[in-house]
């Protein structure tokens, strides 16, 4: 016996499922893939500074309200998930970031997980609005810095974009280029950057930095687009 009500309900269900299935396909078309699910730290792994002066029993990285909160303490949160095998060479990276007064953080790329201390491989993109360090948000740390005046404002979300193609690195804050650097053919960081011999382009993963006691920074909408 034909039941119009049941038929209408079935059609609505099929349309809803079709919509859900179509959404990832549309997202895949533009190439952007999320690295953070907004619920927990699946696909990410943190390390701990073994120096007793900086060690903390509390977790530096937590998820609150769909955001990664980088709290007090020195540690790094590395992406170790499935996207591109957690290895990125040429890419576009984007995230929304919010600093608080005096906070100090950073985003590493072309790095690799290590159990403690500072990442020895890759570059840091600085996140610092009002911390005393003169190297501010949007700079390629110790390589092409933004000095003294930050393009970010505490307690306000800003767009952080990083693009790497070959030997060319471009960092933009809220759509404005803040650092543009091309690695020279004879680049030797062991000579030009004291204590940073691994700061050279190659490939690797991303990491978020927790830097100081009493420092709080937030990240959300973290995504990557792999480039040829």
Whether pLDDT at 145 is above 80: yes
pLDDT tens for residues 22-71?
A: 333 334 569 999 999 999 999 999 986 545 554 554 589 999 999 999 99
Tens of pLDDT, residues 84-100: 999 999 999 999 999 99
Confidence of residue 136 (pLDDT cuts 50, 70, 90): very high
pLDDT recorded at residue 7: 45
Q: State pLDDT tens for residues 16-34.
A: 434 334 333 334 569 999 9
Q: How far apart are CA 207 and CA 81, in angstroms?
A: 12
Model pTM? 0.85
What's the pLDDT at 214?
Answer: 85
Percent of the chain past pLDDT 70, that is, above it, reads 82
For 111-115, 124-128, 137-141, 217-221, which range has the lowest pLDDT when averaged over its residues?
Answer: 111-115
Task: Compute the distance between CA of residue 124 and CA of residue 45 in angstroms, rounded to an integer.
Answer: 18
* pLDDT value at residue 81: 98
Query: What average pLDDT does range 99-118 have in this prediction?
Result: 94
Q: Could you identify the residue written with the tokens 């029993």?
A: 57
What strand order describes the sheet that includes 105-111?
A: 44-46, 75-79, 205-210, 105-111, 123-127
């Amino acid at each position: 016996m034909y039941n119009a009500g049941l038929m209408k309900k079935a059609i609505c269900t099929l349309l809803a499922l079709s919509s859900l299935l179509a959404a990832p396909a549309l997202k895949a078309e533009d190439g952007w893939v999320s690295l953070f699910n907004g619920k927990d730290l699946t696909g990410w792994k943190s390390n701990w500074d073994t120096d007793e002066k900086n060690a903390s029993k509390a977790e530096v990285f937590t998820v609150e309200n769909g955001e990664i909160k980088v709290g007090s303490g020195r540690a790094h949160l590395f992406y170790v998930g499935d996207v591109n095998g957690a290895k990125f060479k040429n890419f576009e990276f984007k995230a929304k970031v919010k600093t608080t007064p005096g906070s100090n953080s950073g985003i590493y790329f072309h790095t690799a997980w290590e159990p403690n201390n500072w990442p020895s491989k890759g570059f840091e993109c600085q996140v610092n609005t009002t911390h005393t360090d003169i190297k501010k948000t949007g700079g390629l740390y110790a390589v092409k810095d933004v000095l003294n005046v930050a393009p970010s404002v505490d307690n306000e979300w800003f767009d952080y974009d990083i693009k790497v193609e070959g030997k060319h690195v471009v960092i933009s804050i809220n759509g404005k280029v803040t650092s543009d650097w091309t690695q020279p053919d004879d680049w030797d960081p062991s000579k030009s950057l004291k204590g940073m011999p691994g700061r050279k382009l190659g490939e690797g993963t991303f990491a978020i930095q927790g830097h100081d006691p009493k420092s709080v920074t937030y990240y959300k909408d973290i995504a990557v687009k792999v480039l040829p």
